[in-house]
Structure 1
Amino acid sequence: MPRLPHTHHRGRPRQVTLAALAVGVAVSLVGCAADTGARDGGVAPPVSPPASSSPLWPQYAPPAPPGDEPTGPDRQYLSIKGVQVGAGGLKRIPVKELLEVDPNVPQLVRDAVRDCPGSACGLRAPVYRDLTGDGRDELIVALDEPKAELTLIQVYRAFGTTVRPVLISWGPLGLTGETFGHDLVLASTGNDGRFTTRYRWDGNVLTAAVPQGQTGDRAQPAAGSSPSPSPRNRTDR
C-alpha cells in the first residue's frame, strides 16, 4: 500500500493563537461598548457653597492719609481773593504773599513762610513752566517743612486776572519734580525705591495721568491734593 507523503503543520498553532487573540479583543471591545450606560454611584456628597468675605467691622471706614485725596472735577480749589494778575503774569506776584493769603493751604504753610526770607525759610526758588499747553507759564512752588518732615509742591494758574491752585501735593521731605512736555512728574526717593506720579492738565486741574500705576518707578502714594497735614514720623528711613 502506497504511503502518503507526510505534511508538517508547524505554522498552524500560531495561526490559531492569533485568531483566538483577535476574537478575545473583539469580545472585550463589545463588552466595553455595552457598558456605557448610566450607573448608580450611590449618594452624592453634599455641595458646599464657595467661601465669601465677611468683614469684621463692616461699618468702619479707615481715614485717608494726607495726600491721598484725588484732584479732579469734584475737587475745586478756591480763587485767591486780593491777588490780581497783571500784565506781567504770575512772575510779578511774590510767592510768599501768595501763600500767606491762599485759603487752600493750611496754617502750617502760613506759619512756615513767616521765616522767609532767612536761613530758616523752606521756600525753594519758584519755577515757571507751561503745564496746560496754552503758551502761558504756570507757577510751581515748593516748600520744605523739616518739622513736619513734609514737602509741599503747589501749582498756580492764572485765570484772567485771578489766580488759584491747580495742584496741591504733599509728599515726604525732599519731594522734587521735573517736566516732560506739558506733564509734571513728582518724585521722592526712600529705602523702598523711587516713587513717581505724572500729572496732566484735564482742563480744570492737574490730575494723575497713570494713577497708582507702575512704569519702572512706583507711583508716589502721597501725591495729590491734600487736607491740612500734621507732623508725622517718616516711614521711608
Structure 2
Amino acid sequence: MTRRRPGPTALTALAVSAVALPLLAGCGDAGGLEGAGATPTAVGPRDLWPTLTPASAPADDYGAGETEVVKGVDVPGGDLRKVDPVAVVRAQADADPETYKDLADGLARCGTSGRDGTSGRGRTGERGCPVLRAYYSDLTGNGREDMVVGVRAPKGQLLVRVYMYADGKLIQIMDDEDAVISVQLADRSVVVRAVADLSGYEYRTSWSYDSHQRAMLPTRDEIVRTGPPTSPVPETPSGDATRPGTPSASPS
C-alpha cells in the first residue's frame, strides 16, 4: 500500500534535514532550499446583487427531462434491434398528428416495411424517407441496448431521439432538434454538434442518462471555437465599378 502522507518518523527526518542544511551550506553545498516567492492569495467567487430575488421558473422550455411512452409498437423479447424505427416514428405521428404534420409527407415515402427506414423508395434525403438508420448502445446502464434514431426535418433540422425499453414499455427518453453538424456516441453519452449563430463557432451538447429523472439530460452544453471567423464580403451595387473599401466620390 502506497503512503500518500508522511508519517511521524518521516516528519522528524524532514525536520532534522532542515536543521542540517544551513551547516552543510558552509561546506560548499549548492543544493540548499530556495524560496519560491510569495504564494498568491486564493480568491473565491463573489456574489453579485446579493439581494436579487432568485427566479422560480425557467425562462424557456428546453424540453430536457421530458419522456414519452410510445404505444402500438411491439418489442419482441425486449430487443430494440427487432423494432422498426420507422414504425416507432409513425406511431408517435399517429398519436400526435399536429406535431408531426411537417413530416407526414416524408413518412409516407418510407414504405410499409424496412427496419432501417430505407424501404419503399428507399433513399434518405430530400426525396427519400426522413428516418435514418438506427444505432444501438447501452446509454442507460441497465444492461440493455437503447436505440438512437435520427429524423430529417424541414429547414435543415435533424431530430435526434433515444428510446429505451423498461417495465414492458417503449419509452422515448431524449428528443433534440437542431441544425446538426454531427452526432457521436461517447461512452454513455450522445454528443450533438450543431451550427452556432457566431461565425467560427459551434454548439456541442452532451446528453447523458439521469437515473432520477429517467431521461437523457443535457449535462454539458458549450459553444466551441472551430476556426477563424469569416467576414462577409461587401456587396457592390450593379453598375458601380467602385471596389469594396474604396471611398466613392461625393456628389457635386
For residue 180 of structure 1, the aligned residue among 178, 186, 190 is: 186
Task: Specify the SS of the correspondent of 2:68.
Answer: coil
1:71 corresponds to? 64
Letter in 1 for 2:64: T
Letter in 2 for 1:80: V
Letter in 2 for 1:197: T
Task: Specify the SS of the correspondent of 2:130.
Answer: coil
Deviation at 1:206, TM superposition (A): 0.2
Q: Which has the higher contact order (CA 8 A, sep 6+)?
A: 1
Residue 209 (str. 1) matches residue 219 (str. 2): yes
Deviation at 1:143, TM superposition (A): 1.3
Q: Mark the structure with the bigger radius of gyration.
A: 1
Letter in 2 for 1:81: K
Task: Specify the SS of the correspondent of 1:113.
Answer: helix
1:154 and 1:101 mapped to 2: Cα distance? 14
Deviation at 1:189, TM superposition (A): 4.0
Residue 197 (str. 1) matches residue 205 (str. 2): yes
- Judged with a 3 Å threshold, the aligned counterparts in structure 2 of structure 1 residues 213 and 195 are, in CA distance, closer, same or farther, namely closer
2:108 corresponds to? 114
2:172 corresponds to? 165
1:107 and 1:175 mapped to 2: Cα distance? 24
- Judged with a 3 Å threshold, the aligned counterparts in structure 2 of structure 1 residues 96 and 200 are, in CA distance, closer, same or farther, namely same
- Asked if the contact 1:166–1:206 (Cα under 8 Å) also holds between the matched residues in 2, the reply is yes
Task: Specify the SS of the correspondent of 2:165.
Answer: strand
2:185 and 2:225 mapped to 1: Cα distance? 16
Task: Specify the SS of the correspondent of 1:91.
Answer: helix
Residue 92 (str. 1) matches residue 86 (str. 2): no
User: Deviation string for 1:101-128 (max 9, x for gaps)?
Assistant: 1147633334422212323222221100
- Judged with a 3 Å threshold, the aligned counterparts in structure 2 of structure 1 residues 86 and 165 are, in CA distance, closer, same or farther, namely same
- Asked if the contact 1:83–1:162 (Cα under 8 Å) also holds between the matched residues in 2, the reply is no
Deviation at 1:176, TM superposition (A): 2.5
Deviation at 1:148, TM superposition (A): 2.7
1:154 and 1:98 mapped to 2: Cα distance? 11
User: Deviation string for 1:6-39 (max 9, x for gaps)?
Assistant: xxxxxxxxxxxxxxxxxxxxxxxxxxxxxxxxxx
* Alignment RMSD (CA, Å): 3.1
User: Deviation string for 1:81-116 (max 9, x for gaps)?
Assistant: 212222161111111111011147633334422212
Deviation at 1:208, TM superposition (A): 0.9
1:131 corresponds to? 139
- Asked if the contact 2:78–2:168 (Cα under 8 Å) also holds between the matched residues in 1, the reply is no
TM-score, with length taken from structure 1: 0.55
1:157 and 1:110 mapped to 2: Cα distance? 24
- Asked if the contact 2:78–2:165 (Cα under 8 Å) also holds between the matched residues in 1, the reply is no
| Number of equivalent positions | 151
1:84 and 1:167 mapped to 2: Cα distance? 20
1:83 and 1:121 mapped to 2: Cα distance? 19
TM-score, with length taken from structure 2: 0.52
Which runs of 5 or more residues in structure 1 are unaligned?
1-62, 219-237
- Asked if the contact 2:68–2:173 (Cα under 8 Å) also holds between the matched residues in 1, the reply is no
Deviation at 1:175, TM superposition (A): 4.1
Which runs of 5 or more residues in structure 2 are unaligned?
1-58, 111-118, 227-252
